[in-house]
Structure formats: C-alpha cells, structure tokens
Structure 1
C-alpha cells in the first residue's frame, strides 16, 4: 500500500467548508496548488491561510472572490480578531460554471496568485509566513485537489524533489539525470510518485520506464513546457510508436502519478 509522507499527500475532493493543516508550515519558495470549479449560481467563496488550528485564528492571507454585480477579489488579513485594510482588485479571474487551476506562490514580497496560468495579484506579507499552519476554504466552490509543495517537514532536510515508491523508501533530491532500478519491478496498483519544481525558463523534461534487459521503453512521458503539451510514447525494438499528445494548462506545475502494470522496468 502506498502511503505518502505527511505534507506531500494531496487532498482530493474535500467537502466544503474545508479546514485542514499545512504540515510543517510555509516558507519562501512554498506553493499551494488548488484545482476546482465554480458553480453557475456562485455568490462568493474564500480561502484563508490560517496561523492556527481553528477558523478564528489569525489569517495571513484572505482571498475572497465576490460575484456581486461589481465582480472583484478582496484580499485581507486578520490579527487578534480584527480584520485589517482590504485590497480590492476590480477583476475576476474565475468564470461561472468553469473549472480553474490556482497557484499561491510564497515569495519574499508576498503571496503571488496565479489563476489558470496568469498572474493575478501579489498580496504583500503582513504576518510572518512561517506562522501559517492551516487552510480554510468555504463558500460557493467545488475543490478537486489541494496540494502543498515545498514544505519543511519536522526532522527532515529541506527537499524540493521527492521520488517515493522505490521499494517503499523515498529518494530525496536525486541528481538529474537520475537512473535506478525498481525493486521487484512494476505491478498492478503499484504507484510511483515524483514531485518536484519546474524552474523558470524550463523547456522540457522526460521520464522513462524501461525494460532493463531489452532497453525497450514501456512508458515515455515528455512534458514540453514551452509548447504547453505532454508527449507520451513507447519504444520497442529501437522504434518509437505513435505519439500521444495532450495539452497542459498551465504548464507550471506537474504532478505525476504512475501505475503501470508491467514488471522488470527501470526508471531513468
């Protein structure tokens, strides 16, 4: 059974309102990736980054889209029970009845918000980001995924890349290119999760699941960031097959889950 380490386990399809922890807290370089959808009859929803374990805790970031005839997004913070001055952005990055992908990136200046791959607003820090330890989401919204990337786990080194599933043992910050055997090979329901960050200016990367003896490639995954596509393929007897191309949007963060029912593979 696959069990991701705390802080790297995404939250899938949470009930709304949602109140959950951010294991290890946030820091500069951390990112929160949220995938969801907006109902047709939306009025408003909000996401709070909490400096505590309850809804009444201090709020480092209050993100509040409002569909009220004067569509806008309100940013704010709360300290000692009191809301501070609002920042109102008279623009709406969300569409009624449509899905969205939102990224909150922690920078030295503040929380940089991207929606559907486009920069929206940076909310300057008012409270120390290291105090953040929870996420609260409520209102008219449906959430498919919440994923926190780049946290610092207690008792572990800081790591930006994790490979989990090699015989149950994680591999932290491997050099790239990386090559290793998969103990016992692949089998149905076996999962390998690779987590990392795509640097600015990245062009492409590739992940190959190889048959160790023949060097055939059972699964080739090639995200091409600048083109905004993911190419998938296989190579048998030295010949590549027909490419399977899929558009990705936004091409900023890649979350890869593999469950390939083939034995004797080598991960390159």
Structure 2
C-alpha cells in the first residue's frame, strides 16, 4: 500500500514541525479544598514566557476569564469490569453522551447509557464524574485523581470557520518556566489537506511526531472526541469512529493536568472514571472448556482460540460481552455462537482488517449461507481495544462496538435455546467474556 500523501510540499516541510511560540501564560490554578471543588482562574500574566506548540493565539492578547467551579457527584450502579475498566450493565452500554448546561454553571454532570437501538436512556456512573462546561480557551485544569487505565475523557465542541489548528494536551503539571512536560499532545491542523499531529514534550523538547492524515474535524462543524486511557496507550475516537492510537512515552502517574489551546470552541469536558480498574477479570456466566479435557484452569481462561459454554442457554434478552484487543498485525478474527448438539453456527462475526470488511454469516446443515457485509463504518483497527456487545432479541442479534450500535443480524438458526457455546479465534487478544 502506498504511503499516505504528505499534505505539505518539500519546500514547506518544516511547517509540519512543532512551532515554538512565546505567548505569555495567562493561567493560574488554585484549589479550594474546603468546598471540595476545583477553582480555575485565568488571570492576566505578562512577564513569564514558555515554548508551546503553536496555537495561533495573538502574542499581545491578554485573557481575563470567568471563574469555573467543578463539583463532583456520583451515582451507584452495579458494574461489570475488566482490565479496560469500562462500564457495562445488562444490555446497556456507553454511548458517551452527556447532559449539558450553559454559561459556566456548576454541574454534577452525567453520562447516559443507551440500548442497542439507540432508544431509551438511563443515567449511570460508578465513580465521581467531573464535568467542565463551556470553558474559556485557552483552558488549563487539574485532573483530580490523575489518570488511570479505564478512564475516559469526552470532549464536545466545534471548530470555528477561521480555525488553523487547536490542541488537547495531557500535561504533567502546569509549570510555565520550565515548561511542564506534555505526555500526549493531540493537534489537529487544518492548513492544506489537513492532518493530526501527536507528540510528547519532555524537558522542553518535542519528540518525534506521529502524523495521522485522516481528518475527521471540519471547520464550522461540531465534534465529539473520546479519549480512552489504556495501560499502554491512548485510544482516540472522533465522532464515533476510531481515529488513532498513541503509545505512552511518559508514565500515566505523572499526568495531572488537561490543557486545551488554539482556535476551538469547547462545550463540555467529561471525565468518566472506574475505580474497579485492575480487578481480576472473570468469565461471568461462561465457563471455558475444551472438547478433550473439560474445564480449563483459571490462568489460561482467556487464551485464543477460546471456547466457552454459556451457563444458561441463549434466549431473548440475553447479552454477551466480549472485551479484547486486536493484534497489531491482524488479518482477521472470528466470534461464533454455536450449538453443542451439532456443527451449526448461529452467528459468525468475522472482521477482516486487511480489506476492512465485516462479514456475518451462519453455518447450517454443513453449509455456509449468504454473507452479510454492509456496515456504515468498519469499527476495528490493528492494535485497537474493543468492547463488543451481542444482544439477542426475539428476531435478531444486535451488535454494538465501543458503545456504538453497529449492526443487526436476523436469526437464521431459530432454536435459540440450543445456542450454548461461544467461540473466539484468530488475530485477537481476549481480555474478558461475560454473559447474562
């Protein structure tokens, strides 16, 4: 496959490099612990200067902004969690939608869950949720409690018509001089054909750029950025489409500040946490087996190929949750729902990364049926973490991936009560399987 076209001509190649500006920092942070709230104040600051990735802000402009108060509230729910630390309950899963208020108002915020039809929502969280509404840009704020694997940061905003670039920085403090390290610098640039530059700033020196030429942002359009924090990387989704992965170059434990700069309007920033991250995974509702030796020991319960027996046979209302990570050089993998009474496969899910085709089929009476391939967006990418939900109703299976309803598959195998085996094979690392 040919390498992505460089949006810049050779003579202007230097424009791709991080531009160090000398804008004065205008930010100071104070913590009001007595009221358990985060007070962010942006004052005029004229003397100190520090190098930043170019944000397109006029050098002489001064900022005097309103005070933003962040309050915290929590709602208890029952959760299922694995190493990913994401929340699931019943046949519901995250769609990363949040309630909004306006004019810098204090809010507890909430994340909504939606069913696989996109209908019917419920409010839910298993940890205190932090929400900042309508922050003034540039914005710098402390991440209370830091970042841990399983945390999700959701940013809703829009790109102004005159935007040239903006950036989202996960920082190690808010020091001005010397400049605080930036663990993850996410920088959409709109000049020419556009690109997204990711990088790390350490000891005031930028590292090597990782450039993505897919541009999901459009001038004059709104956006949703979902940044998932994993043990070894950040995973970024924009407008419900997987965008990129960025491996950690700086330890997560050092990240305690979020900065947003440049020409962008931000409506809300949500931090969605899960304190149960790191709890040992267990295949709730499914027992791993092999056909020769029966039950497998716990230390090999998620090896691939995987074959598990559902503790209760499939029926309408049944949900199966599969958490995993696509191998970095993956070609394809498969998930099968089968009957132990025959060779029949009721549901065959087969994502093919090389061709970006998501095949669905059934194997009945020693023969494969007609393949179904249509899907709005191919949801997988090499190295990507995923949570796949299969929900069974009376007439069809409904499948969602990372909180996005992806497809429906009408039942071809009608005897649902005979479907009692789950099989996973191919180029995938299995992290957790559950059934309820």
State whether residues 147 and 252 of structure 2, in contact with CA within 8 Å, keep that contact through their aligned partners in structure 1: yes
Structure 1 residue aligned with 2:271, among 148, 167, 177? 148
Change (3 A) 1:69 1:31: same
Shift of 1:28: 1.0
What corresponds to 2:389 in structure 1?
A: 201
Instruction: Provide the secondary structure at the position in 1 that maps to 2:174.
Output: coil
Structure 1 residue aligned with 2:405, among 226, 233, 240? 226
Structure 1 segments of 4+ aligned residues over 4 angstroms from their partners: none
Q: Distance in 1 between matches of 2:71 and 2:170?
A: 26
Q: Distance in 2 between matches of 1:42 and 1:203?
A: 42
Q: Deviations over 1:23-54 (max 9, x none)?
A: 00001111100000011111000010001133
What corresponds to 1:74 in structure 2?
A: 197
Shift of 1:130: 1.6
Structure 2 residue aligned with 1:42, among 140, 163, 170? 163
State whether residues 130 and 272 of structure 2, in contact with CA within 8 Å, keep that contact through their aligned partners in structure 1: no
State whether residues 240 and 404 of structure 2, in contact with CA within 8 Å, keep that contact through their aligned partners in structure 1: no
1:4 equivalenced with 2:72 (yes/no): yes
State whether residues 188 and 196 of structure 2, in contact with CA within 8 Å, keep that contact through their aligned partners in structure 1: yes
**TM-score, length basis structure 2:** 0.35
What corresponds to 1:27 in structure 2?
A: 148
1:110 equivalenced with 2:110 (yes/no): no
Instruction: Provide the secondary structure at the position in 2 that maps to 1:130.
Output: helix
Unaligned 5+ residue runs, structure 2? 1-69, 74-107, 109-127, 278-385, 393-402, 408-436
State whether residues 76 and 83 of structure 1, in contact with CA within 8 Å, keep that contact through their aligned partners in structure 2: yes
Q: Distance in 2 between matches of 1:38 and 1:146?
A: 15
Instruction: Provide the secondary structure at the position in 2 that maps to 1:9.
Output: strand
1:98 equivalenced with 2:221 (yes/no): yes
1:133 equivalenced with 2:312 (yes/no): no
State whether residues 131 and 269 of structure 2, in contact with CA within 8 Å, keep that contact through their aligned partners in structure 1: yes
Instruction: Provide the secondary structure at the position in 1 that maps to 2:130.
Output: coil
Instruction: Provide the secondary structure at the position in 1 that maps to 2:405.
Output: coil
State whether residues 129 and 270 of structure 2, in contact with CA within 8 Å, keep that contact through their aligned partners in structure 1: yes
Q: Deviations over 1:171-217 (max 9, x none)?
A: xxxxxxxxxxxxxxxxxxxxxxxxxxx9641659xxxxxxxxxxxxx
Change (3 A) 1:202 1:127: farther
Q: Distance in 1 between matches of 2:390 and 2:236?
A: 20
What corresponds to 1:61 in structure 2?
A: 184
Alignment size in residue pairs = 165
Shift of 1:150: 1.2
Q: Distance in 1 between matches of 2:189 and 2:71?
A: 38
Q: Distance in 1 between matches of 2:390 and 2:266?
A: 28
Q: Deviations over 1:204-255 (max 9, x none)?
A: 9xxxxxxxxxxxxxxxxxxx96379xxxxxxxxxxxxxxxxxxxxxxxxxxx
Q: Deviations over 1:42-96 (max 9, x none)?
A: 1000010001133521111000000110300000001111110111111211011
Unaligned 5+ residue runs, structure 1? 152-157, 161-197, 205-223, 229-268
Change (3 A) 1:50 1:202: farther
Q: Deviations over 1:91-150 (max 9, x none)?
A: 211011110011000113311000000000001110011211000001110000101111
State whether residues 202 and 226 of structure 1, in contact with CA within 8 Å, keep that contact through their aligned partners in structure 2: no
State whether residues 150 and 159 of structure 1, in contact with CA within 8 Å, keep that contact through their aligned partners in structure 2: no
Change (3 A) 1:202 1:82: farther
Q: Distance in 2 between matches of 1:67 and 1:117?
A: 20
Q: What is the root-mean-square deviation of aligned Cα atoms in Å? A: 2.6
**Pairing 1:173-192 to 2, within 5 Å after superposition:** none
Q: Distance in 2 between matches of 1:202 and 1:128?
A: 35
State whether residues 167 and 188 of structure 2, in contact with CA within 8 Å, keep that contact through their aligned partners in structure 1: yes
